[in-house]
């Protein structure tokens, strides 16, 4: 892993020396200093920084302005910025976050506090960079497969969807069942045959982002920690980023499904807390289809639920997790869903 680079921006030499001494004593970072906002903006053009420690009270350009300029630049907007300053009022802190900082440390600061915050944001930046590399690799791979997708896109999409399920110790049968449930719900909802078929072919991609999640989290046989759960949730955006560049109808729909299938009808889902019909219909349909199948399947973190508990759960989540109209259609035609489940059982 590359050595992390940190830019320290402060016009007071005594604080620069303190920061340098603390970080050099405990960590092996590459440390670069700028003594003004103008110098900082020039320096960021020369190096790829992993973190910026930025003073606020500087002249003629203060830290707020420097931060806003960095945030407005596509090349520097993702560099985390920690404000280091004697301004400790809540208004100043709020102004710092509004400008785009990720953290705020007041002077004088404790050595262990500085080290802990720097280490935390360096690790977060490293994780984001790793995820971006995976996204870029996924996009490149999809582009290489473009010619084959033209001729065999249904098979390729199904295969890619199965990869995500396989990594989380799920089976190809899960993908088939979710595809069939999605098609059935789409038709019951009054969707045209063409669009229902499109949903069926795109739904296997709903969890494609899981290929970017570490096995230790994906297959953990127990409850995830808050930090692990936060990483797990990123599979939605990972899937979206992998798929969003395509203009092909199936992949465009798969993009919506990947992004929306963990949103909840009451607005308490993720990643964007969409509510009701703000969530795409294909996302709402796949969400119900996926949960119905997942509850009846064994996962590393749970046993298979019985049918009574599954149906009771889905009923209880009407207008909460699921679209109430879809829940009603599901129960009105429950025998058809069980028929699909039996046809594509794990014994096959």
- Supply the residues annotated as catalytic: 210
Cβ-defined contacts of 196-201 (< 8 Å, 24+): 198/249, 198/250, 198/253, 199/253, 199/257, 199/282, 199/285, 199/286, 201/153, 201/154, 201/157, 201/158, 201/250
Helices (H) and strands (E) in the chain, counts: 15, 5
Token reading at 297: 């399947």
The 3 state secondary structure assigned to 59-119 is CCCCHHHHHHHHHHCCCCCCCCEEEEECCCCHHHHHHHHHHCCCEEEECCCCHHHHHHHHH
Residue 32: strand pairing partners = 7
Q: What is the DSSP letter of 29?
A: -
| Residue partners of 320: CB distance under 8 A and separation at least 6 | 264, 265, 266, 268
What span, in angstroms and rounded, lies between the C-alpha atoms of 51 and 169?
Answer: 37
Q: What is the DSSP letter of 3?
A: P
Q: What is the DSSP letter of 11?
A: S
Token reading at 4: 């992390």
Residue 176 near residue 293, CB atoms below 8 Å: no
Helices (H), 145-189: 146-167, 172-188
For residue 330, give the 3-state DSSP assignment.
helix
| Residue partners of 240: CB distance under 8 A and separation at least 6 | 209, 255, 258, 259
Residue 202 near residue 251, CB atoms below 8 Å: yes
What span, in angstroms and rounded, lies between the C-alpha atoms of 206 and 186?
Answer: 16
């Amino acid at each position: 892993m590359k050595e992390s680079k940190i830019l320290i921006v402060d016009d007071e030499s005594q604080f620069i020396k303190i920061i340098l001494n603390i970080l050099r004593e405990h960590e092996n970072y590459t440390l670069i200093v700028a003594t003004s906002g103008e110098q900082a903006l020039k320096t960021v053009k020369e190096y790829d920084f992993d973190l910026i420690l930025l003073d606020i009270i500087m002249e003629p350009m203060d830290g707020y302005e420097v931060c806003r300029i960095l945030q407005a630049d596509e090349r520097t907007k993702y560099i985390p910025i920690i404000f280091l300053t004697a301004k400790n009022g809540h208004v100043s802190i709020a102004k710092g976050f509004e400008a785009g900082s990720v953290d705020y440390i007041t002077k004088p600061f404790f050595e262990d506090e500085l080290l802990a915050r720097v280490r935390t944001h360096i690790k977060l930046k490293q994780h984001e960079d790793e995820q971006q590399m995976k996204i870029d690799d996924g996009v490149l791979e999809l582009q290489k497969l473009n010619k084959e997708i033209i001729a065999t896109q249904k098979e390729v999409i199904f295969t890619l969807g199965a990869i995500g399920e396989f990594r989380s110790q799920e089976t190809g049968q899960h993908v088939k069942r979710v595809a069939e449930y999605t098609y059935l719900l789409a038709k019951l909802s009054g969707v045209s045959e063409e669009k229902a078929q499109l949903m069926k072919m795109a739904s296997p991609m709903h969890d494609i982002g899981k290929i970017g999640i570490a096995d230790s989290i994906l297959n953990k046989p127990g409850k995830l920690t808050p930090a692990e759960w936060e990483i797990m949730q990123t599979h939605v955006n990972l899937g979206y980023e992998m798929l969003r560049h395509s203009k092909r109808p199936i992949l465009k729909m798969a993009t919506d499904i990947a992004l929306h299938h963990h949103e909840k009808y009451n607005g308490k889902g993720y990643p964007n807390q969409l509510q009701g019909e703000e969530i795409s219909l294909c996302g709402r349909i796949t969400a119900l289809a996926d949960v119905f199948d997942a509850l009846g399947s064994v996962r590393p973190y749970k046993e298979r639920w019985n049918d009574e508990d599954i149906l009771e759960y889905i009923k209880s989540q009407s207008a909460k997790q699921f679209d109430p109209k879809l829940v009603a259609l599901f129960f009105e035609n429950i025998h058809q869903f069980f028929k699909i489940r039996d046809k594509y059982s794990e014994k096959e």
